[in-house]
Structure 1
């Protein structure tokens, strides 16, 4: 496996390459096919929206791309690492160094402050100066005056800002977001969109998002549509 802490030797190669990805689930005597023959490539620094109706397989695809699960068939390559063929420990090591996550439900630890939530992945990864890095990120997302607040003391939008700061803390090469504006009102959702796109540009982080938000999808460079577990015709972003 390529060292997860090091960058790829050839930056012109796709950061993410998926070949004939299929995911099936056994349901007693029946087999449910959630994804069927999905193939795609994503370039370094791109922003990509994955859209489709509920039940089309979007979240399942995102989990496979991120190495949270392994496919029934096919292969996922992240920076030359065969994610789908790595052990659970190897996938965890790769995610810790190279991958960030933003979830609809925020997934902050309720007993920790905003600062401690952002510091956690840095401390687990033995990053130097975790406190300084976490503070800088929280200031960048507009929460410099909320460092000592716990999640219950923060609004939904503020919690998502903490989650975004945490996701970018270890400077991931790719960030996966599952409905990042799904639990937010329109104005707050717009602010989170602006923040994600700005960080995508500033840090050059590849951004792959599952979303029902048409405005957010339109802001991405590419739009991939899942239809009953299959990849539909790709749409380029509007000029």
Structure 2
């Protein structure tokens, strides 16, 4: 169902960085709007600016110019602490390199965002989502004791445990073999359907992009027509 207010909106965002050769434009005048419940793939060649765009949309980085709204909050009007508060309340992440805390068990990694937010019932909620990703028997294992696919399943459980309005996935199968990657993507979309989360995935994999309801192509820092 379409709603008047998009869950994610970017208006004329640009990102420039300094380099030995001078100022480098990574993104230029990007506009986009994503409605609640959409599944959107951001695709493009390596170096096109996909991951930079995701970082800006999630409030992990600040644009040089432009404005971004996430679930009604203007990220570009907030300081780092303000953006972190918005992420903690509304956003889940799945990264290519898992980003699990090595000193925590699987269940402790999944509990972490709930505990950081001061939520009660963290262990029960983490157990429920670990059950859904098929990892309850491995809940007391540390990341080093898990395969790559198992680590990514823990990361997906951690992303969904807060019931985020938006889930950002950056090349979620990039470090996995093709068969494991296919199972991870199946799981990601299955959980997403159940949670009715808005999913934004950066990928170079056309098979993943085709599973999304819409594709945004980034070419040399701009949204391609």
The TM-score range, normalised by the shorter chain, is: over 0.9
How far apart are 1:12 and its partner, in Å? 3.4
The CA distance in 1 between the partners of 2:117 and 2:129, in whole Å, is 17
- Structure 1 residue 146 and structure 2 residue 169: aligned? no
Aligned runs of 1:144-223 on 2, under 5 Å? Answer: 144-223=136-215
Pick aligned residue for 2:99 from 107, 111, 114: 107
| SS at 2:101 equivalent | coil
Instruction: Spell out, residue by residue over 1:55-88, the C-alpha distance to the aligned partner (whole angstroms, 9 max, x if none).
Output: 1000000000000011000111112211112111
| SS at 1:145 equivalent | helix
| SS at 1:176 equivalent | strand
Please list every run of 5 or more consecutive structure 2 residues that lacks an aligned counterpart in the other structure: none
| SS at 2:60 equivalent | coil
TM-score by length of 1: 0.92
The CA distance in 2 between the partners of 1:11 and 1:50, in whole Å, is 22
How far apart are 1:28 and its partner, in Å? 4.4
TM-score by length of 2: 0.97
1:37 aligned partner: 29
8 Å CA contact 2:26–2:221 kept in 1: the answer is yes
- Structure 1 residue 78 and structure 2 residue 70: aligned? yes
The CA distance in 2 between the partners of 1:180 and 1:92, in whole Å, is 22
Structure 1 runs (4+) deviating above 2 angstroms are: none
How far apart are 1:199 and its partner, in Å? 1.3
| SS at 1:197 equivalent | helix
How far apart are 1:29 and its partner, in Å? 6.1
How far apart are 1:11 and its partner, in Å? 4.9
Instruction: Spell out, residue by residue over 1:72-129, the C-alpha distance to the aligned partner (whole angstroms, 9 max, x if none).
Output: 0011111221111211110010100100000000000111100000011111111111
1:24 aligned partner: 16
How large is the RMSD of aligned CA atoms in angstroms? 1.1
Please list every run of 5 or more consecutive structure 1 residues that lacks an aligned counterpart in the other structure: 1-9, 234-239
The CA distance in 2 between the partners of 1:98 and 1:12, in whole Å, is 19
1:4 aligned partner: none
The CA distance in 2 between the partners of 1:85 and 1:33, in whole Å, is 22
8 Å CA contact 2:97–2:175 kept in 1: the answer is yes
